[in-house]
Amino acid sequence: YAGPLFIYLLFYFRVPFIYGHKYDFTSSRHTVVHLACICHSFHYVKRLLETLFVHRFSHGTMPLRNIFKNCTYYWGFAAWMAYYINHPLYTPPTYGAQQVKLALAIFVICQLGNFSIHMALRDLRPAGSKTRKIPYPTKNPFTWLFLLVSCPNYTYEVGSWIGFAIMTQCLPVALFSLVGFTQMTIWAKGKHRSYLKEFRDYPPLRMPIIPFVL
């Protein structure tokens, strides 16, 4: 997760040899470009902090091949998105400030929702244990999505990137969101099946990732 953070910033600050000497260390004149950098950086700083201080993993390690797969996905897309969003010829969204504000609101709400779900899942598993329980909504309104889906953290994650795609109106971001949604749907379906198999009293109305649909 540190890779996408630093890679994106290289393009944002327009370090030499990316866009040509004429644009070395120059700044975009478009406000949306700066907002996009803030949002992208916030997302990955949040991920790093959650990995260190929030998540309680059921497995201590992961297959070595996953490192290469994950880095290719996150780092490659970060560079592709950043190249176009921070390009000197980048044009702002079609509907201007209204589109940016709406998308920013979607992004912020989904980021708060994602963090809330991670905290709720953390509280289900005591430190040092591998206990599994059915997650239920808490007093936090962002967790109420548990009423309808098994993996609302993925729902919020996809929502964040949809908001980011609308904000930047950038095709690479939309493709990143689509690939991420596909992978998270696979994970959500697997977790949903696991819940159904393990807990006989699992809420029957829940879907894996999208309420009433998927």
Q: How far apart are CA 106 and CA 164, in angstroms?
A: 8
Is the pLDDT score of 138 beyond 90?
A: yes
φ, ψ of residue 43 to 5 degrees: the values are -60, -45
Q: For residue 149, report the phi and psi dihedrals to the nearest 5 degrees.
A: -135, 155
Q: Is the residue at 211 inside a domain?
A: no
Asked, for residue 110, whether it belongs to a domain, the answer is yes
What pLDDT does 61 receive? 57
Residue 75 within a domain: no
Domain membership of residue 129 (yes or no) is yes
Using 50, 70 and 90 to split pLDDT, how confident is the model at 65? confident
Nearest to 92 by CA among 165, 32, 172: 32
Average pLDDT over residues 115-144: 87
Is residue 23 assigned to a domain?
no
Residue 108 is predicted with a pLDDT of: 98
Q: Which residues of 60-71 are buried (b: 16+ CB within 10 A; e: fewer)?
A: eeeeeeeeeeee
What domain count does the chain have? 1
Q: Is residue 18 part of a domain?
A: no
pLDDT, averaged across the chain: 93
Q: Residue 125: is its pLDDT beyond 80?
A: no
What is the C-alpha separation between 100 and 96, in angstroms, rounded? 6
Contact call for residues 169 and 99 (beta carbons, < 8 A): yes
pLDDT higher for 72 or 30?
Answer: 30
Domain-located, residue 76: no
Cβ pair 32, 93 in contact under 8 A: yes
- Summarize pLDDT for 33-43 with one digit per residue, the tens: 999 999 999 99
**Domain with 114 in it:** 33-57+91-198
Q: For residue 203, what is the DSSP state?
A: -
The model carries a pTM of 0.92
Predicted confidence at residue 1, as pLDDT, reads 84
